[in-house]
Amino acid sequence: MGAEKPASFHDVRMRGFRDRAEVDDVLALLSARLSPLPGEDVGLHEAAGRVLAVDVKAPSPVPSFDRAAMDGYALRGEETFGAGSYNPLELEVVGTCLPGKSFARSVEKGQAVRIMTGAPLPRGTDAVLPAEMAEESNGKVKMNEPVPPGRHVSHQGEDIQAGSRVFHAGRALRPQDVGILAALGIAPVFVVRRPSVTVIVTGDELLPCGSKPEGFRIVDSNSVMLEALVRRDGGQPRVLPIVPDRREEVRAAILGADSDVLLISGASSVGQEDHAPRVLAEVGELNIHGIALRPASPAGIGFLGGTRPVFLLPGNPVSCLCAYDLFAGPAVRHLGGKSMELPYRVASLPLASKLVSAVGRVDYVRVKIHDGRVTPLATSGASILSSTTRADGFVLVPRDSEGLAPDEMVRAYYYDLTDSAIAETTVS
């Protein structure tokens, strides 16, 4: 399904927004318009973290043969019945069985074979006597305990049965999953293609990332932040050189991007040099411009060619981060076959102090978390990126809330998944 192309374009430059879209409506648009990308084959060494495009069934059992689960002696279990400290039993040792090799002949009654972990169980045996329970001398092995049939043996198919479904499509492969695929001999692996993402940063006042600030110009920090966020979400970012605040150059950059997703930082607000919304409306679709969200209210979303999403991200760094996390990030993850949900760990915690908000917008509030309680940061400007480095995470205040009182429970999203404060919380 697809949304209709907007019938008219409202130029907000030096005027402001007539109305703003709801956060939930933006997410609904993205969910309706986007689908996971087609699959591709990748090698096992590149498969971890990728999303399966198809179900995986076991072509063979694991293990594929009965094998020793311990170092010791392969024997007939029933021949050990009655063994004890007052009645030790002995069997003749007739050879050694090593991993990767079969024992040449069948083992007869009264015999045992020295065997190593992983070696195939010799014909005529059904149990393994652990080495630490045995005493070998003069070609015989003595035991003081019985070993029932089947003991210390990994049986064919006990891990995975042939023909069974191992993984469902849509699973993000973990390291141990890749190990299972290797054990099954499945290679290459058919996974959802990773979305390509072009990052365009605009602004005459910007110096390239890695420069030092000079005069009245500032260093671009959004491109490197967006690049890292895209990688986190499974995309393949490509950062273009800074684009000047000139309409034709913005237009050329947008038309020249051939990626699955396009992120444009800056040029999206109400300034006279904010050309990106008008250009996108001319060359594609501008479905949403202006969102009931603080910060990041000037954000916009549209499409090129009907299927390639374009995100207009505000130039202020915190607004850029917020708009990416709430809108662009879910799109990148969804195209790559992952969940659209925020990728942060969440904890349900009480507020330590009042949280002020306003009805009619969603508030993205940076917070500190200490002793299992949440405190809003006093500094909340959209251009103060350091507020997100001092914060432990953020809280999203619903649009219908005037604020929250101390001790009210909130959902806190952690920026740092390894923060020690997580250990103090109860995850909801």
Percentage of the chain surpassing pLDDT 90?
A: 84
CA distances from 292 to 15, 17, 112, 356 (A): 17, 11, 77, 16
Q: How confident is the model at residue 166 (pLDDT cuts 50, 70, 90)?
A: very high
Q: Evaluate whether 325 touches 403 at the Cβ level (below 8 Å).
A: no
The residues that bridge with 355 in the sheet, in sequence order, are: 404
Residue 11 maps to a domain = no
Residues 363 and 411 in one domain: yes
User: Which CATH number do you get for residue 379?
Assistant: 2.40.340.10
User: Which CATH number do you get for residue 277?
Assistant: 3.40.980.10
How much is the pLDDT for 380? Answer: 65
Tell me the per-residue pLDDT of 342-399, one tens digit each, with 9 for 90 and over.
999 999 999 999 998 989 999 999 999 999 999 999 876 677 888 888 999 999 999 9
Structural domain containing residue 116 = 67-154
Across the range 237-249, mean pLDDT stands at 95
Residues 315 and 207 in one domain: yes
Residue 2 maps to a domain = no
Tell me the per-residue pLDDT of 143-153, one tens digit each, with 9 for 90 and over.
999 999 999 99
* Angle subtended at Cα 367 by Cα 317 and Cα 331, rounded to the nearest 5 degrees: 50
* Domain count of the fold of the chain: 4
- Summary mean pLDDT of the chain: 91
Q: Evaluate whether 280 touches 311 at the Cβ level (below 8 Å).
A: no
Separation of alpha carbons 113 and 79, rounded Å: 14
Residues 219 and 325 in one domain: yes
Separation of alpha carbons 51 and 39, rounded Å: 9
Residue 352 maps to a domain = yes
Residue 313 maps to a domain = yes
Quick one: which of 313, 315, 293 has its CA closest to 302? 313
Greater confidence (28 vs 381) lies with 28
Residue 6 maps to a domain = no
Residues 141 and 255 in one domain: no
Residue 7 maps to a domain = no
Tell me the per-residue pLDDT of 265-299, one tens digit each, with 9 for 90 and over.
987 766 677 889 999 999 999 999 999 999 999 99
Residues 209 and 292 in one domain: yes
How much is the pLDDT for 4? Answer: 42
Least confident range from 85-89, 126-130, 318-322, 417-421: namely 417-421
Between strands 355-356 and 403-404, the pairing is antiparallel
Greater confidence (125 vs 17) lies with 125
Residues 210 and 322 in one domain: yes
Residues 88 and 201 in one domain: no
Burial class of residue 265 in the structure, from the number of CB atoms within 10 Å of its CB (0-12 exposed, 13-18 middle, 19+ buried): buried
Residues 322 and 266 in one domain: yes
How much is the pLDDT for 13? Answer: 55
Residues 231 and 330 in one domain: yes
Residues 317 and 198 in one domain: yes
Final residue in a domain of this structure, among 302, 335, 368: 335
How much is the pLDDT for 416? Answer: 83
How much is the pLDDT for 417? Answer: 64
The answer to whether residue 427 scores a pLDDT higher than 60 is no
Residues 76 and 28 in one domain: no
Final residue in a domain of this structure, among 335, 368, 383: 335
User: Which CATH number do you get for residue 46?
Assistant: 3.90.105.10
Residue 97 maps to a domain = yes
User: Which CATH number do you get for residue 121?
Assistant: 2.170.190.11
Residue 187 maps to a domain = yes
Residues 211 and 321 in one domain: yes
Final residue in a domain of this structure, among 335, 359, 390: 335
Tell me the per-residue pLDDT of 248-272, one tens digit each, with 9 for 90 and over.
999 999 999 999 999 999 877 666 7
Separation of alpha carbons 423 and 123, rounded Å: 53
